[in-house]
Amino acid sequence: MEPSDLIASLERAVAASPDDLALRTHLAGLLLDAGRAAEAVPHAAEVLRRDPTSATARDLMARALAPSTPAPEPAPEPPPESGFDWDRAAADLGVPPPFVTSDDDGRVRAEAAPGPGRFGVEAAGLTLADVGGMEEVKKRLNAAFLAPLRHEALRTAYRKSLRGGLLLYGPPGCGKTYLARALAGELGARFLTVTIADILDSFIGRSEQNVHEIFETARANAPCVLFLDEVDAIGLKRSKSHQDWMRTTLNQLLVELSGVAEANDGVFVLAATNQPWDVDPALRRPGRLDRTVLVMPPDQPAREAIWRLHLQDRPIGGIDVARLAARSDGLTGADIAHACETAAERALMDSVETGEVRLISQHDLEGALTEIRPSVGPWMETARNVALFANGDGSWDELAAQLRTRRRR
Amino acid sequence: MTGPEDPALIEAMLDTGRVERAGEMLAAALAQQPGSPRLLQLLARQRLLADDAAGALDAADALVSAAPGEPVAHQLRAIALGVLDRHEEAFAAAVESVRLDPLDASTHRSVARAALGARGRLQDGWAAACRAIELEPAEPDSHFLLGVVAESQQQRAVALEAYRRTLALDPEHAAALNNLTLLEDGGLARVALGMTQTLALDPDSEYARRNLDGVLERFCWRVAGAGFLGLVLAADAVDAASEDPTATGTSRLLALVVLAAALIGAAVFRHTLEPVARTYLARRVRRPGRLLALVVLAVGLVLTTGVVGVSPGPGVLVMGVLGPVLGLLAVGLAVWTAVERGRR
């Protein structure tokens, strides 16, 4: 059998069994032997990502990235003036595009479902299984929302109504929107995200009309999760709102939320906010956003998942994700993403300076971590004040308990 | 629906505290319409909310150039100048806004606000606040400003009434509650209660937190004062005992009574505090600032020395060594307190 035939059949085998690391390692070796270093890199990187201790994969990666490795396609372009060939380096590393959208990574992007209105409805494309860690939050979501929906017989027996919505709150960058999307996926429902920009209109009366249209769109696309992002901007406390449109829009939102119960059949209202204390109390009354779930910065398993997610398409070697997760306690998903960016920048600049392309290492990532300050600091400060001074009615008991737990850690 | 450059959306961002995002949106919007008075007005507001008074003044100046007849341009200028401690100019800008629209209550409020910082303008401020109330009697801020001006003029009764009216119109006016509590001065526990209520309305209120800290400081000073009295009496007792070891000494008895009263007073004060204030103050004692740490240390030392001093035996040594140390500490603390207060 010709080496190219063997490689082709091995590629098919790897595609059929992507988790078979031995097969993938073997394929990477054959590709290297055949002078196809650029194609070998992603396979070696994948093996290293799943098994950072694999010495064979590390050797293969080093060989693949060695400057002497012949380019797969002779490209007789003149070397750049800086002495560093960026294009070549990118090709060697099999560098993925800098930003990966949900379309790019193969996730389902729903087409707009039929129905009235100008608001885009999409399929969720995620489930709670896609959310790493955060078991406590998932448990709360299940008890507050999913279990009553799934077990109709029990629900009927307990006369549990399906009215009301769920408010996710917590510091920014902790995955509230992601969780909402995953919840929609769990329900097999379509997903309609609404922000203040979708509602606000300069013309008098149009903002209220937009709120009505949004609910009509959701009803026409039932089952549908209607997700009100940054709900404090839409439903700011009336005592704090200076604009007339804010009050009238909030009134319309209250009407739509608690109007005729049957009208909202199949419409599940979720909302998220970083400033729950600014949300008008009327929105949190029974039948509206009457259940709350606190989403704090990710726990250890969630952080591991986030690290993996942000490192998966980068050239890495010898990464101890568990150690990184332990060292990034208190950081949000956004902070971790920033740390990955910083580490990638270090490795890249190092490659530029030395002229030798190298992998992103544990050292780069830990170095980046030392430069990152948790972005939740100001939020925590306000949350502590709220939990201490504004918890007269027990609204923030869960928050207070969480803050106590974090203080003890 | 609206685009990210829509001034209404930017205003909504500012109203809901999304200052940074509003700044980004403003940058994009101003790149398209650099001279838009509406956008410049929002930029001045955004800069003020971002604690950038100089930037706010630049924006307000640009706004005045673009729309010199707009009272709000001069009002924003007055606020920015006030923050920059250029009070005379701030007052002039506010007066200009009144000249442009004398029937707008907000322009008079602007004058009242600026008058608080300007030298010798309190009477003008008083008149402006009254005029604002006349034009817009249901606006809580007009009454609040009258309260502040009246307080500055030592008109306690007027200030009390103005704050009460403010709260009647807006029960969630945290600043009015803060000022009213301090002005009523119903004892330390009452002040602590008022401050916790203020903080319930505005958990990030720096003033209320400082005032709550002030309650703790004042309480500590009172205990320290009682402790010093006990100390003096104890010293007298020790002196008497050195001349006649059999003397029991009424001073020693009095010292014990004073020290016991200080300790009982502390316990009673703690008991009268609301649970929230108690939790907060206990937390402050555990994690005090430098000044508070010294005050607490001083109280602890005074009481300990006093108690040890009244007991026979080591009293002489304790009083001889710790007495001068405590004296120096007291002087140091007094100086430090004065400096800290001045800085605040």
C-alpha triplet A255, A283, B176: angle, nearest 5° = 120
Amino acid at residue number A250: L
Q: Is residue A98's pLDDT more than 50?
A: no
pLDDT of residue A99: 32
Residue of B nearest to A206 (CA): B1
Asked if B24 reaches chain A (Cβ–Cβ under 8 Å), the answer is: no
pLDDT of residue A116: 45
Answer whether the bond into residue A223 is a cis peptide, omega within 30°. yes
**CA nearest neighbour of B191 among B225, B165, B219:** B219
Q: Is residue B235's pLDDT more than 80?
A: no
Distance from CA of B141 to the nearest CA of A (A): 13
Q: Is residue A69's pLDDT more than 60?
A: no
At A75-93, the pLDDT tens digits run: 444 444 444 455 555 555 5
pLDDT of residue A38: 72
Asked if B16's CB is within 8 angstroms of A200's CB, the reply is no
Asked if A253 reaches chain B (Cβ–Cβ under 8 Å), the answer is: no
User: Is-contact A61 A317, C-beta < 8 A?
Assistant: yes
Higher pLDDT, A242 or B138: B138
At B248-262, the pLDDT tens digits run: 566 666 767 777 777
Residue-averaged pLDDT of chain B: 84
Helix axes A37-50, A86-93, angle to 10 degrees: 50
In sequence order, the 6+-apart residues with CB closer than 8 A to the CB of A81 are: none
Torsion of CA A149, A151, A152, A153, to 10 degrees: -160
Phi, psi for residue A97 in degrees, rounded to 5: -60, 150
Does the model's pTM come out above 0.90? no
- Pair of tokens at residue B341: 């207060």
Confidence of residue A105 (pLDDT cuts 50, 70, 90): very low
Range name among A115-129, B168-182, B196-210 with the lowest pLDDT average: A115-129
Asked if A70 reaches chain B (Cβ–Cβ under 8 Å), the answer is: no
Residue of B nearest to A196 (CA): B9
Query: CA A188, CA A191: separation in Å to the nearest integer?
Result: 9
Query: CA B17, CA B21: separation in Å to the nearest integer?
Result: 9
Nearest by CB to B9, from A197, A239, A389: name it. Answer: A197
In chain B, residues with a C-beta closer than 8 Å to the C-beta of A275 are: 16-17
- Pair of tokens at residue A92: 């060697």
In sequence order, the 6+-apart residues with CB closer than 8 A to the CB of B198 are: B174, B177, B178, B181, B205, B207, B208
Confidence of residue A20 (pLDDT cuts 50, 70, 90): confident
Range name among A78-87, A361-370, B25-34, B173-182 with the lowest pLDDT average: A78-87
B136: left (phi over 0), alpha (psi -120 to 50) or beta: beta
Phi, psi for residue A122 in degrees, rounded to 5: -135, 165
In chain A, residues with a C-beta closer than 8 Å to the C-beta of B279 are: 388
Query: CA B286, CA A323: separation in Å to the nearest integer?
Result: 33
- Pair of tokens at residue B324: 């001068």
Distance from CA of B6 to the nearest CA of A (A): 8
In sequence order, the 6+-apart residues with CB closer than 8 A to the CB of A295 are: A134, A137, A168, A169, A170, A174, A175, A176, A179
Distance from CA of B118 to the nearest CA of A (A): 28
Which residue's structure tokens are 């078991």?
Answer: A135
pLDDT of residue A56: 79
B33: left (phi over 0), alpha (psi -120 to 50) or beta: beta
Range name among B130-134, B169-173, B223-227 with the lowest pLDDT average: B223-227
User: Is-contact A271 A167, C-beta < 8 A?
Assistant: yes
Range name among A132-146, B134-148, B154-168, B301-315 with the lowest pLDDT average: B301-315
Provide the β-strand partners of residue A169. A273, A294
- Pair of tokens at residue B237: 């007792």
Higher pLDDT, A45 or A389: A389
Query: CA B320, CA A94: separation in Å to the nearest integer?
Result: 80
Phi, psi for residue A267 in degrees, rounded to 5: -105, 115
Nearest by CB to A233, from B2, B12, B201: name it. Answer: B12
pLDDT of residue B99: 96
Residue of B nearest to A207 (CA): B1
User: Is-contact B32 B5, C-beta < 8 A?
Assistant: yes
Largest CA distance in chain A: 79
Range name among A334-343, B193-202, B219-228, B231-240 with the lowest pLDDT average: B231-240
Asked if A242's CB is within 8 angstroms of B12's CB, the reply is no
Q: What is the mean pLDDT of residues B168-197?
A: 90
User: Is-contact B80 B57, C-beta < 8 A?
Assistant: yes
Residue of A nearest to B201 (CA): A390
Number of helices followed by number of strands (H, E) in chain B: 17, 0
Q: Is residue A265's pLDDT more than 80?
A: no
In chain A, residues with a C-beta closer than 8 Å to the C-beta of B16 are: 196, 230, 232-233, 236, 275, 278
At A184-207, the pLDDT tens digits run: 888 888 889 999 888 888 788 888
Asked if B232 reaches chain A (Cβ–Cβ under 8 Å), the answer is: no
3-state DSSP call for residue B2?
coil
Nearest by CB to B9, from A200, A241, A390: name it. Answer: A200
Residue of A nearest to B205 (CA): A385
Interface contacts A/B by beta carbons within 8 Å: 74
pLDDT of residue B107: 96
Query: CA A126, CA A136: separation in Å to the nearest integer?
Result: 19
Confidence of residue B296 (pLDDT cuts 50, 70, 90): low
Q: What is the mean pLDDT of residues A336-356?
A: 89
Residue B89, CA atoms < 13 Å, CB-side half-sphere: 12
Burial group, residue A332, by CB count within 10 angstroms (0-12, 13-18, 19+): buried
pLDDT of residue B154: 93
- Pair of tokens at residue A405: 């737990």
User: Is-contact B162 B146, C-beta < 8 A?
Assistant: yes
User: Is-contact B251 B170, C-beta < 8 A?
Assistant: no
pLDDT of residue B116: 94
Query: CA B252, CA B310: separation in Å to the nearest integer?
Result: 6
Structure letter (DSSP) for residue A66: -
Q: What is the mean pLDDT of residues B163-188?
A: 92
Which residue's structure tokens are 């396979």?
Answer: A43
Confidence of residue A16 (pLDDT cuts 50, 70, 90): confident
pLDDT of residue A282: 92
* Residues written for chain B: 344
Kind plus residue range of the DSSP H or E element containing B194: helix B188-201
Residue-averaged pLDDT of chain A: 79
Higher pLDDT, A102 or B112: B112
Asked if A233's CB is within 8 angstroms of B13's CB, the reply is yes
Structure letter (DSSP) for residue A151: -
In chain B, residues with a C-beta closer than 8 Å to the C-beta of A201 are: 1-2, 8
